[in-house]
Amino acid sequence: MPLSPLLRSASSSRALHRLPYEILLRVFSLCNGDDLRTLSEVDHRFRSVCNDSHLWKTLYQRRTGHVPKDNTCSYRDQYDQHDRLILSITNDCEVTHNHPPYWDKLEDRRSLFGRAMILHAVSWLHVSGWLRGVHAGRYRVVWRLFILPHAANIFDIDFRAETSTGCSLALTILTLHFRHL
């Protein structure tokens, strides 16, 4: 359930404001970055909790699986640098392996179609060489891409896949464009 309806109720809002700072910090640590940005706009108290460095460190650790580096960059900035990919989807779009922890479908006003897929985790598949001996038939091909940490700021990924020219199938080129939103 989104947090917005809870915050609109005056009685639940008053109850949240009576909670100690440490409890709010624990509750807010269950949110994602987008929710924290929304909560920080509620009032001064929520803003101070949402800007807590320990909170962003916890979110970063939950997202990446390791503790962020202690450097000049804030934990929030480090978290934002590892932000998830959000793809706009049409109503009939399905993604293979559409289950947690990989992809989630959700309503999102930033999407052209009102819905988005959020990528939580990327699995790694490395194919070096040729795949041979595939029996005749129709297959659903799933490509998994891995982006190295030093390439995290790439805005476009142009991925191509081709069938072998000796194949009875026509040459197929698949191009995927991913853009950070």
Judge whether 98 lies within some domain: no
Report the half-sphere exposure of 150 (CA within 13 A, side-chain side): 0
11: domain range?
3-81
Neighbours of 13 (CB within 10 A): 14
Mean pLDDT for 100-119 is 66
CATH of the domain at 76: 1.20.1280.50
Rounded Cα gap, residues 86 and 111, in angstroms:
9
Contact 47, 29 (CB under 8 A): no
Judge whether 59 lies within some domain: yes
Question: What is the per-residue pLDDT across 15-57, written as a single tens digit (0 to 9) for each?
Answer: 777 889 999 999 998 888 888 888 888 888 999 999 999 999 8
* In 39-175, beta strands by DSSP E: 86-88, 103-107, 115-119, 158-159
Judge whether 171 lies within some domain: no
By three-state DSSP, how is residue 116 classified?
strand
Judge whether 140 lies within some domain: no
| H or E element that contains 48 | helix 44-50
Judge whether 60 lies within some domain: yes
Mean pLDDT for 107-119 is 67
Report the half-sphere exposure of 107 (CA within 13 A, side-chain side): 2
Judge whether 118 lies within some domain: no
Whole-model pTM: value is 0.43
Q: How many domains does the chain have?
A: 1
Judge whether 117 lies within some domain: no
Judge whether 174 lies within some domain: no
Q: At residue 88, does pLDDT exceed 50?
A: yes
